[in-house]
Chains A and B, each alone.
Chain A
Amino acid sequence: MWFPRLPSDRVLRARAQVTANDNRPFVLTHHEKNTDRIYCLNRAAEAQGLHRGMGVSDARAYCPELQSQPADTVADARFLQMLARWSKRYCPWVGLDGADGLMLNIAGSAHLFGGEAAMLDDMRHRLARAGLSGHIAAANTRGAAWALTHYGRAAHDDIRTLPVAALRLDAKTDTALQRLGLRKVSDLLALPRATIARRFGPDVVLRLDQAMGAQDEVITPMGEVPHYGVRLTLPDPIGLAADVMMGTERLLVRLCDKLKEQDMGARQLQLTLRRVDQGAQQVELRLAAPMRDADRISPLFERGIGAVDAGFGIDQMRLEATQVEPLLNAQITTATASRPDGLDDLITRLGNRIGLENIQRLLPADSHIPERSFQIAPAAYSTSNGAWSRHRPRPLKLFPPEPILGAGSQPPTRFRWRRMSLTTGRSTGPERIAPEWWLPDEAWRTGVRDYWYVETREGRRLWLFHTPQNPGWFVHGEFA
Chain B
Amino acid sequence: MTQRTNRKMIARHLARAVVLAGIGLYVARLSAVGNLGLYISPRMAVYTKLAAAALYLIAAALVYQSLKEWDVQRDAGCGEACGHASAPASPWLSQLRAVVLFALPLALFFLTPDTTIGSAMAARKGMNLSGGTAAHAIKTDSAATSAPPDANELDRLFPHDSLTKPYADYGKLLYAKPEIEIKDWRYLETLTTLNFFPDSFVGRRAEVSGFVYRDDTIGQGQFVLGRFAIQCCAADAIPYGIVVESTDAAKYANDDWMTVSGTFAKTTIDGAEVLLLKADAATKIEPAKDPYVYPDMDFGV
Task: Say whether A and B bind each other.
Answer: no
Interface residues of B (CB under 8 A from A): none
Interface residues of A (CB under 8 A from B): none
